[in-house]
A and B are shown apart, each in its own frame.
Chain A
Amino acid sequence: MADTNPTPTAQPAGPLSAFWNAFSQNRGAVGGLFILLTIIVLALFAEWIAPYSAIEQFRGMTKLPPAWAEGGDRHFWLGTDALGRDMLSRLIYGARISLFIGLSVMSVSVVIGITLGLVAAFMGGAVDSMLMRVMDLIMSIPSLVLAILVVSILGPSLTNTIVAVSVVYLPNYVRLVRGSALAEFGKDYIIAAKVAGVGPVRLMFVTVLPNCLAPLIVQAALGVSNAILEAAALGFLGLGAQPPTPEWGAMLADAREFIRSNPWIVTLPGLAILVSVVSINLFGDGLRDALDPKLRRS
C-alpha cells in the first residue's frame, strides 16, 4: 500500500529559531538591539566605565572641546561643560537615568494599562464607557502640556517625571489591551473556557491576556523610547530631574547659550538621546515584524 507521508527534504524551523530568523532578517533591528545592549551595559556599569564622576567640577577646565578638536584635552574625551564637568561621564550616567525613566514608565503603564484595559473589556457597559472617556480626555490634552501640568502639581523631580509621563502614555496601553481583549471575545476558546467554569480573574489574566501580548510587547518597547523623549523634553524645560543630575534633556537646556561658542555641548547630549531612541525604535520595529506576521510591514 502507498506510504502516505512523503520524505521531507527540508525542515521548517522551530518557534524560537523561527523568531530569531525572522527578527535577524531585519538588519536595522539587530543593529538597534546591539546598540541598545551597549547602552544598557553603560548604564548598569557606569561607575566602572565612566572616567570621572558626573558631578565633579574641574575648575579651569571648563568648556573644553572634545579631545580630537583644537584646544581639547586628552583627559576629557568628549570635552567638558560650562562648569567643567566631564561630558563623557555625564552622558554615561545620563544613560542610566534615561533608561531608568523609560523602563519605569513602561512598567507602570503596562501594569496599570493591562489591568484597566482588561477590566474595561470584561465589565463593559458603564465602567467601560467611563474608563474610555477618561482615556479620551487624557489623550485630548497634548502630551507635553499634560506632563507639564502633572509636574507643576507634584513638583519637578525624577520620580514625578515618571508619574507624569506614565499618565500621558497610559491611554495607549489601556486602549490596546481593551481592543485586543474585545477582539478575542468573539473567539470560541473563550466560550469554551467559560463553559468549563473559569472565573473572571483567571479568565482575564490567564486565558485572554497571553493572546493580546504581541502588540502589547511592541507597544511597550516603543513606549520606552517615547518616555525617554518626553522625559528629556521635561528636563529641557527644567521640570525634570533637578541639577546637578546629569539628565540628557537638562544638559541641553544648559547648553542653549553655547550654540555659537561651544557647539559640542549642544550636539552631544542630543546625539545621545537620538542614538538611544533610534536603537529602541529599530529594535521595537524588528520585534513587531518578527512577532506578529499580521502587523508585518514588508
Chain B
Amino acid sequence: MIKFILRRLLLTIPTFIALMFVTFIAIRLVPGDPVEVRTGEHGISPERLAYFRHELGLDQPVWKQFLDYVWHLLHGDFGVSLSSNEKVLTEFLTLFPATLELSFAGILFAVILGIPAGVFAAVKRGSWFDHTLMGAAVAGFSMPIFWWGLLLIMLVSEGWGLTPVAGRIDMIKFYFEPTTGFMLIDSLLSDQKGAFLSTLHHLVLPMIVLGTVPLAVIARMTRSSMLEVLSEDYVRTARAKGLSEFRVISLHALRNALIPVVTVVGLQVGGLLAGAVLTETIFSWPGVGKWLIDSIGRRDYPALQGGILLISSLVIVINLLVDLLYGAINPRIRHG
C-alpha cells in the first residue's frame, strides 16, 4: 500500500515540472507587454520603461528568468499581481475558499441527487422514470452551463424573484470580517441574524448550475455501473441467500457499483474548476475562476501564471487522492 502511494506520488513530480515549464513559456508567449499594460495610460519615458522592465526581471535572459521563477516557486513565492499589487499567492488564497465552497456545494448536490437517481433508474430499468432520468441526464451534460445559468437567473431570480442574482451574501445587510473565507461558516460565526440564510440563498442557484453536469454524469455512470453489477454472480448469491431486496441493492450491489463512480466523481472535480470559471463569471461570484478571467483581460501575467499553476497543481493532487481513495475502496488493489 505504501509502495502504491509512493509510486503514484513519484509519477506526479515530472508532471509538476512540466507544468511549471509550460505555464512559464505560455505566459511569455501571450502577446502584449506587461510593462506597457501596467503603465500604459501614463505615457512613459524610455528610462522609466527600462526601470520597470528591470524591476519585473524582464531584461534578464529567458532561461535565467525561468530559474528565478522556479526558485521563487519553491519558496512559495508566486509573484506579485500587477493589478492589485498583492502577492499572487495571497490573492489566490483569499479568493480560493469561495471557489472551494461553490465547488463543494456543487459536487455535493450532484452526488446526493445523482447516485440515488442512478440506482433507482437501474433497479427500475425500462420504466418511465428510467427513460425520463436518462433523457434529463443527456440534456444535463449537453447544456452550455453559461446559458443554463442565465436561464435560471432569468426564470428564478428575475422572473419569480426567488433567489438573488449575484454575490455570496447580501452585502448591504450584512458585513463581517472573513475568518475562514467560507461564507457558510463565517456567517454562522458572525451571529448576525439571517446571515447564514442569506448565504444559503445566494449559494443555491450557482450550486445548481455548477452541479448540473456532474449530476448528469454521475447519475448515468451510477445507473450503468449498477446495471452491470446487478447481473453479477454475487448479487445472485445474495438473493439466493434470502436477503431482502433492499439489502441486496443498497449494500451488496451498491458497494461494488460505486467503485467506478468514485473515479468518475474524482474526474469531475477537474472539470468543475473549468465550470467554476463560467459560473463565477455569470453570478459575479468572487472566486479564483473569475479572478483568472479578469487577469487575462488585465494582462496580469504573474496572476495568470500563478493562478493556472495553482489550479492545475490542485487538480493533480485531487486526481492523486482519487486514485488513493479508489485503492482504499477496492480491496483487490489494497491487498495487491
On whether the beta carbons of A259 and B150 are closer than 8 Å, the reply is yes
Q: How far is the CA of A270 from the CA of B125 in the complex (A)?
A: 31
Interface 1/0s, chain B 206-230, versus A by CB < 8 A?
A: 0000000000000000011001000
A273 in complex: contacting residue of B14, B147, B312, B319, CB < 8 Å: B147
Cα distance, A280 to B223, chains bound together (Å): 21
Q: How large is the interface on A (under 10, 10 to 19, 20 to 34, 35 or more residues)?
A: 35 or more
Cβ–Cβ contact B142 & A225, under 8 A: yes
Q: Tell whether, in the assembled complex, residue A139 and residue B270 are in contact, meaning their CB atoms are under 8 Å apart.
A: yes
Q: Which residues of A contact B273 (CB under 8 A)?
A: 142, 145
Q: How far is the CB of B291 from chain A (nearest CB, A)?
A: 12
Q: Are A297 and B144 in contact (CB under 8 A)?
A: no
Return the CB mask of A113-145 against B: 1 if under 8 Å, else 0. Answer: 000000000000000000001101101111111
Number of interface residues of B (CB under 8 A): 47
Taking CB atoms, residues of chain B closer than 8 Å to A153 are 26, 29-31
With A236-B146, A274-B143 as known contacts, state yes or no: A140 contacts B270, CB within 8 Å.
Answer: yes
Between B29, B150, B224, B292, the greatest number of chain A beta carbons within 10 A of the residue's beta carbon is seen for B150
Q: What residue of chain A has the Cβ atom nearest to residue B293's Cβ?
A: A237
Q: Given the complex, which residues of B lie within 8 Å of A260, measured CB to CB?
A: 154, 158
CB contact under 8 A between A28 and B135, given known A140-B270, A263-B154: yes
Q: Report whether B277 and A142 are in contact in the complex, using a CB–CB cutoff of 8 Å.
A: yes
Distance between A230 CB and nearest chain B CB, rounded to angstroms: 9
Mark A residues whose CB is within 8 Å of B.
28, 133-134, 136-137, 139-145, 148-149, 152-153, 155, 225, 229, 232-233, 236-237, 249, 252, 255-256, 259-260, 263, 266-267, 269-270, 273-274, 277-278, 280-282, 285, 297-298
Q: Which B residues form the contact surface with A (CB < 8 A)?
A: 14-15, 18-19, 22, 26, 29-31, 125-126, 134-135, 138-139, 141-144, 146-148, 150-151, 153-154, 158, 223-224, 227, 270-271, 273-275, 277-278, 281, 292-293, 296, 308, 311-312, 315-316, 319
Given A133-B18, A145-B312, A260-B154, 14 extra CB contacts under 8 A: A28-B134, A141-B19, A142-B273, A145-B308, A148-B296, A153-B30, A229-B142, A256-B150, A260-B158, A267-B151, A277-B143, A280-B142, A282-B138, A285-B138
